[in-house]
Every structure is written in C-alpha cells, then in structure tokens.
Amino acid sequence: MTNSGNFSRRGVLKGGLAGILATGVSPLIFTRGAYAQEFCNAPTGDTVTIGFNMPLTGAYADEGADEQRAYELAVEHLNGGGDGGLIPFFSSKTLKGNGILGKKVVGVTGDDQTKADAARDSARRMIERDGAVMITGGSSSAVAIAVQGLCQEKGVIFMAALTHSNDTTGKDKKRYGFRHFFNAYQSGIALGPVLGDAYGKDRVAYHLTADYTWGWTQEESMKNATEALGWKTLAPVRTPVGAGDFSQYLTPVLNSGADVLILNHYGFDMVNSLTQAVQFGMKDKQANGKQFEIVVPLVSDLMAKGAGDAMKGIYGTSNWDWQLPDDASKAFTKSFGAKFGQPPSQAAHTSYVQALLYADACERAGTFYPPEVIKSLEGFEFDGMGNGPTSYRATDHQCFKEVYVVKGKEAPANPFDLLEVVATASKESVTYDPAIFGGELGPDTAVAC
C-alpha cells in the first residue's frame, strides 16, 4: 500500500476544514473584484443586456410604441451613434458613447400587454433567458408595481417609465425600483391652483376613475387638491381599464348636479371617454349656472392626438413637453424627430432619460453591481434632461423636478402642436414628505440567479 498512510482521518479532517475555511473567507479577500460572481446577470462578455418591457398591445399601446422608439434611440446614443441626443446636455459627464463601462448596450424587448401577469412573464423571460441586468419600461402603474416586485426579488434594477400612481414610490416602493416620472400627488399640487383660477372656487366635481392603483391614487390626489380650493366631490365612479365604450358611465354625469367632469383615464381609455363626453355635448352644457368643464389630470401628446378636437381647451399635467424652450428639450426633440419623423411624447422622454440615468449611475459606481448602482442613484442631483434641476430622493426613489400644467391648444399650428404649457410648478412646490404614503424600500442585497 503506497500512500494510504497520508489519508489518515485527522489529515482528511484538517484538509477539509482548511477548504471550508478558504471558501468561507475567499469572498472577503476578493470583495471588490468578485462582484461578477455575486449578482444576477453580471455582464461577462463585451456587451451588456438591458430589457425593455413595454405595452405593444392593450389600452396603453400608443405609449408603449413611443417608449420603444425612445429606447432604440437611447441604445444608439449610448453606443455612440447619432447626434448623442441628451448626452451632451446631461450635467453628469461620464457617458462617452462607448456603451456602459465600455460594454456595448444590447436591448431585448417584450410586450407587457398592459397586464401585470404578462408583464412579469415577459420580465422574467428577459432576466432568466436573455440575461438582462436592468429592466425598464411599462406604461401602467399596475405593471410597474408588479414588475418592481419581481425585480426586487431577482435583484435586478427596474427603471420605471410611465407610471403615475402614488403607490409606485409610496406604499409599494422597492429598493430596486426607480421612477423618473412624476406622480398623481404632484399633479394635484400643480393643477389645483390653475383650476381654481380658471373655474372658480365653487364647483362640484364628478370623477370617472380607471379602476386600479393609478386611478385610485390620482382620484384621491385630485379630490384633495380640489377640495382644498373649496370644490365639492360627488361619489366617484370606477371604470375598467380598456372598457372601450364609456357611454354608460357618462350618461349619469349631466344629471348628477356636477359641473366639472374629472377623467382619471389614460391612453386609449382617455381618448374614448373624452371623445364620448364631448359627443354628449358636455363642453357646451351649462350646469349650476356655470359652464360645464372637463379636466384630464394626466395628458400626453399621444392622447391629445387621439382625442383630436375634443382636447381643445382642456387642462391637465405633463411630465415633459416637446415644446419646452430649454436647449436639452430642443435637442432631444430634434434627435427623436430626425429618426422617427414625429416629436417625442412624455412617455418617450422619461424612458430615454431613465436609460441614460442607469448608464450614468453604473459609470459613476464603476460597476454593474446593483447595490453600488442603487447607492449612486439615491440622492443623485442632475440637470440638463429637459426638466431643469432634478433630484432622485433616496428615501423613496422618486424624482423631484418641475411639473407642467398643459392645456389643449385651441388653434394648433401643425399636427403635432397640440398642447401648450400654461403654468410650471416649481420643484420645491411639488416636494412632499415621503412619510405620507408609507411603504418600505426593503434591502439592497444582491441576489445570485
């Protein structure tokens, strides 16, 4: 027997113990360098994959299509193509047009169908199969909240695009979720005074509300804002998303004693409900001795285009508008217009900005390791993205910036000239205490997948 003596029980135990100790200690030795093994979908080759998850079908499909265009543009600009769009104007100068951290950006897309279930499926496919290190997109708060929950679980950063519910960065906020878009509470603060000036202090409002988290919180925020003016609110009516025909909900409005109709609808729903309300003659009616008015608290160019003449003279709020006079907005509109032949919508803008913000955060962190990227996004102050000085609040991952009150133009100069900015709410005025919405961010621990 040759070396059986070396295999003594003691020797094996010693060796094993040393091995166990070594494996336990090694992560401590290589902490910084060993990130690559420790988090979900760490980019290994010379490319980095980002998942674009947006509605290509369903009630918000128009917004989804515009988001897709914006992401295409963002990928092009991040990889050094085109005119660079917003990159030269962005106050943080880390983006060089060589991808992210020197890795070329590759996008994978998925259709979230404007449904929470389908959106999670599609996000899971991009995380589990395509190896996406970040997920962005979405056009419904239900989708954003669902995908944000999944991303928290998987340890993948989610840069929400179009989501306006207070819950996204309120009661359902997540450490891995970030929102550049504004929210219903801010819409209420911005829109309230304008409505007071335009329609007076003595009004009765009737709410038609999309029946999910966004509609609920917007209804609540608008109710608070208008009741602070002295308005009364009738019992709200909830409508299903994608209802198509709203006549059954609109018929009771005129006899309800209300003189303002507030439509908490978005996308095709808003286009349909507004058009039908106008067909019912609501814009020309008198109620309580006053002119009957319609308000759409959240509007976009795409919806204004869909609603056509019905949109004229109607107030709402926007996160951004392509007609804003600053250089960055102009440059982005030019870059987008040159590629797609139409101006970008607010959905396109926020998607594009979110993609750039993620790229920049990775550059500043010097790694794709999510906890570090999260740290560099939290409390980040920047400018030059079209909304003036903006900050990402660390406590709830909500961006604070100017909010624009817009009105449907009475005499559009061209087919895209649909909304005009009539008032701007300053960043300070729309800042609120994060505690009012509760919620918990949760941990930032990286997850291996």
Partner 1 sequence: MALFQLSRRDALILALFALVVVTMPVWTAPFGANYPGLMQKFAIYAIFAIGFNILFGLTGYLSFGHAAFLGVGSYTAVWSFKLLTMDALPALLLAVVISGLFALVIGFLSLRRSGIYFSILTLAFAQMSYNLAYSVLTPITNGETSLQLTLQDPRLIDLAFTTRGAGLPTASLFGVTLSGLSGFYFCAVVLLIAFFFAQKVFASPFGMMLRGIKSNQMRMSYTGFNTRPYALTAFVISGMYAGLAGALLAVTDPLAGAERMQWTASGEVVLMTILGGVGTLIGPVMGAWLIKYFENIFSSFNEGILSRFFDFIPAPLHDTVVAIASKFVGEGWQLTLGLLFVLVVVFLPGGIMEGVRRIGALFRRGNPPKAGAMRVQPAE
Asked whether position 145 contacts partner 1 by CB under 8 A, the answer is: yes
Site stretch for partner 1 (CB under 8 A), options 148-156, 180-188, 328-336, 397-405:
148-156
H/E element, 21: helix 9-29
Asked whether position 245 contacts partner 1 by CB under 8 A, the answer is: no
72, two tokens:
């295409």
Angle (nearest 5°) at CA 115 between 114 and 119: 90
Asked whether position 270 contacts partner 1 by CB under 8 A, the answer is: no
Coil vs helix vs strand at 293: strand
Interface map 92-111 toward partner 1 (x if CB under 8 A): ----------------xxxx
Contact 217, 169 (CB under 8 A): no
d(CA 386, CA 327): 8
d(CA 267, CA 300): 8
To partner 1, the closest distance from the beta carbon of 440 in angstroms equals: 5
List 41, 49, 122, 323, residue binding partner 1 (CB under 8 A): 122
List 86, 95, 135, 150, residue binding partner 1 (CB under 8 A): 150
d(CA 123, CA 115): 12
Contact 58, 114 (CB under 8 A): yes
List 116, 156, 355, 357, residue binding partner 1 (CB under 8 A): 116
Number of chain positions touching partner 1 (CB under 8 A): 39
C-alpha closest to that of 310 among 299, 320, 322: 299
Contact 315, 419 (CB under 8 A): no
Asked whether position 38 contacts partner 1 by CB under 8 A, the answer is: no
Q: Restricting to residues 359-418, which ones interact with partner 1 according to CB under 8 A?
A: none
Interface map 125-144 toward partner 1 (x if CB under 8 A): x--xx-----------xx--
To partner 1, the closest distance from the beta carbon of 322 in angstroms equals: 25
Interface map 173-212 toward partner 1 (x if CB under 8 A): -------------------------------------xxx
d(CA 267, CA 165): 15
Within 308-345, residue ranges assigned H as helices are: 327-340
Site stretch for partner 1 (CB under 8 A), options 6-14, 234-242, 283-291, 317-325:
234-242
d(CA 393, CA 398): 6
List 117, 197, 245, 327, residue binding partner 1 (CB under 8 A): 117
Alpha carbon of 316 to those of 184, 203, 279, 301, 431: distances in Å? 11, 17, 20, 11, 19
Amino acid letter at 296?
A: V
List 35, 38, 47, 56, residue binding partner 1 (CB under 8 A): 56
Contact 203, 260 (CB under 8 A): yes
Asked whether position 146 contacts partner 1 by CB under 8 A, the answer is: yes
Nearer to partner 1, 194 or 441 (CB): 441
Coil vs helix vs strand at 179: strand
Site stretch for partner 1 (CB under 8 A), options 119-127, 256-264, 360-368, 369-377:
119-127
Nearer to partner 1, 183 or 318 (CB): 183
To partner 1, the closest distance from the beta carbon of 417 in angstroms equals: 30
Contact 344, 336 (CB under 8 A): yes
Nearer to partner 1, 149 or 306 (CB): 149
List 223, 232, 238, 290, residue binding partner 1 (CB under 8 A): 238
Contact 103, 47 (CB under 8 A): yes
Nearer to partner 1, 126 or 296 (CB): 126
d(CA 398, CA 177): 9
CA 283 from chain centre, in angstroms, equals 32
48, two tokens:
């980095």
Cα-Cα-Cα-Cα torsion 227, 231, 236, 237, nearest 10 degrees, comes to -140
Nearer to partner 1, 227 or 245 (CB): 245
Interface map 213-232 toward partner 1 (x if CB under 8 A): x-------------------
Nearer to partner 1, 59 or 419 (CB): 59
Asked whether position 120 contacts partner 1 by CB under 8 A, the answer is: yes
Residues that bind partner 1 (CB under 8 A): 56-57, 108-111, 115-118, 120-122, 124-125, 128-129, 141-142, 145-146, 149-150, 152-153, 167, 172, 210-213, 238, 240-241, 440, 442-443, 445, 449
